[in-house]
Amino acid sequence: MAPVSAMLPRWRLYSWSNNLMSSGTTLYLKGAEFQYPDNEKKVLKGIDLEIRAGEWIALLGPNGSGKSTLLKLFNALLLPSQGCCFIDGINTNETKSVALIRSKVSIVFQNPEDQIVASVVEEDTAFGPENLGLRSDEIKIRVKEALISVGLWEKRKHAVSSLSGGQKQRLALAGVFAIRPGSLLLDEAMSMLDPASRKSFLDLIKREHSSGCTIVQVTHRLDEILNSDRTVVITDGQISWQGKTENFLSISENELKDMGFAKPPVAVLKEELVKSGIIPGSTRSDIGEIRKKLCLLQ
Ligand SMILES: Nc1ncnc2c1ncn2[C@@H]1O[C@H](COP(=O)(O)OP(=O)(O)O)[C@@H](O)[C@H]1O
Ligand SMILES: [Mg+2]
């Protein structure tokens, strides 16, 4: 029988759209199921999901619905028990491609402590590129660039233990940036951050996204997903809702509450202004855009 890769249309695997930045990675799941060996219940039950290069996906759902498991399929930490997972056209079940897949897809987890591998800041950032087997001069360049970009260059010689929680999470991001992956998977990566650190972390993600990186962001907070293109909701191992994030945010406050989400204040404001006929329904839930529309009225 032909390999699964041969059965999939080539355009799906290699080229999503010419006008999207080429640096992002495509992520593809077809009929993906997953069951942990010591758990009799299937955690993922036939997930079909196509993520284009450069897309920003918000992945939502209740605790235990399978979000973290799904992310782990994307960087071959886990393999689907049924169905398949392709990264830029590479089947994650090809053992020889695991290193390549991990160079394309990086995960940042919730707790920065879980991601620290060295005691000194610059050594921690060098870990990823060292694992890629890069030359030492290339590693130095990448470490410097990554630490500057997250604002930790001045602390490169410091002990990791001396960093604050927010700085540690930015250090985790620096480690990922130094790998220069085409996609970044964020597993509740901002949930332990204070508001200021959250904002600076989100700004770094926006910058990566605007340079073409694919983003898959797991979160419970809808105010963090305002910049995403598409929202996917997982309930009990299945996709229960997916569509444009703007359409998701346009669901009424009560309906979102029933789904377990708190509508962000900016989306509530937009909803009220649209309901009153003050701004058009096409306005994005973005404070800058709402302000512009209101200024045009004067
Ligand atoms: N290592 C594991 N072994 C067995 N069951 C697990 C393991 N990790 C997660 N699970 C179970 O899989 C389900 C989905 O977990 P997870 O993917 O972490 O969900 P989420 O990230 O949406 O909270 C849960 O019921 C959880 O208990
Ligand atoms: Mg999780």
Tell me: the pLDDT tens digits for 119-157? 999 999 999 999 988 999 999 999 999 999 899 999 999
Looking at residue 14, its pLDDT comes to: 32
**167 or 3: whose pLDDT is higher?**
167
Look at ligand 1, atom 10, and give the residue with the nearest C-alpha: 36
Quick check: 164 pLDDT over 60?
yes
What is the average per-residue pLDDT within 187-199?
Answer: 89
Look at ligand 1, atom 7, and give the residue with the nearest C-alpha: 36
pLDDT confidence tier of residue 298, bands split at 50, 70 and 90: low
Looking at residue 19, its pLDDT comes to: 33
Provide the percentage of residues in the chain whose pLDDT is more than 90. Answer: 73
The CA distance from 114 to 107, in Å, is: 12
Looking at residue 124, its pLDDT comes to: 96
The closest ligand to the CA of 60 turns out to be: 1
Tell me: the pLDDT tens digits for 214-271? 999 999 999 999 999 999 999 999 999 999 999 999 998 899 999 999 999 999 999 8
Among candidate residues 291, 256, 254, the one with its CA nearest the CA of residue 270: 291
Q: Which residues sit opposite 59 in a β-bridge?
A: 218, 232
The best mutation among 29, 34, 39, 63 to test binding of ligand 1, ranked by most ligand atoms within 8 Å of the C-beta, falls on: 39
Quick check: 46 pLDDT over 50?
yes
User: HSE-up of 67 (CA within 13 Å, CB side)?
Assistant: 28
Cα 253 to chain centroid, rounded: 25
pLDDT confidence tier of residue 104, bands split at 50, 70 and 90: very high
pLDDT confidence tier of residue 49, bands split at 50, 70 and 90: very high
Which residues crowd ion ligand 2, with CB under 5 Å? 68
The CA distance from 82 to 277, in Å, is: 49
Atom of ligand 1 nearest to the CA of 234: 22
Quick check: 81 pLDDT over 90?
yes
What is the average per-residue pLDDT within 158-175?
Answer: 93
Strands of 97-220, DSSP E: 105-108, 183-187, 214-218
pLDDT confidence tier of residue 168, bands split at 50, 70 and 90: very high
Tokens for 255, please give them.
């309906």
State in Å: Cα 35 to ligand 1 middle: 9
Looking at residue 39, its pLDDT comes to: 87
Q: What is the dihedral of CA 265, 267, 268, 274, to 10 degrees?
A: 150
Q: Which residues sit opposite 56 in a β-bridge?
A: 215
Triad 96, 98, 103: Cα angle to 5° = 125
Looking at residue 23, its pLDDT comes to: 78
Triad 52, 192, 115: Cα angle to 5° = 70
**Pocket of ligand 1 contains residue 61 by CB under 6 Å:** yes
Quick check: 210 pLDDT over 60?
yes
Atom of ligand 1 nearest to the CA of 72: 17
The helix (run of H) or strand (run of E) holding residue 204 is helix 195-210
What CATH number should be reported for the domain whose range is 4-263?
Answer: 3.40.50.300
* Least confidently predicted of 12-21, 194-203, 270-279: 12-21
What is the average per-residue pLDDT within 53-80?
Answer: 97
Residues 83, 46: contact at Cβ < 8 Å?
yes
Atom of ligand 1 nearest to the CA of 188: 21
Average pLDDT, the chain: 89
Neighbours of 122 (CB within 10 A): 21
Angle (deg, nearest 10), helices 121-131 and 165-177: 30
Quick check: 20 pLDDT over 80?
no
Looking at residue 5, its pLDDT comes to: 38
The CA distance from 165 to 294, in Å, is: 39
Looking at residue 282, its pLDDT comes to: 87
**Pocket of ligand 1 contains residue 91 by CB under 6 Å:** no
Residues 24, 53: contact at Cβ < 8 Å?
yes
Residues 232, 242: contact at Cβ < 8 Å?
yes
In 3-state terms, what secondary structure has residue 91?
Answer: strand
**29 or 283: whose pLDDT is higher?**
29
Per DSSP bridges, beta strands 183-187 and 214-218 are parallel
The helix (run of H) or strand (run of E) holding residue 69 is helix 67-74
Quick check: 165 pLDDT over 70?
yes
What ranges do the domains of the chain cover?
4-263
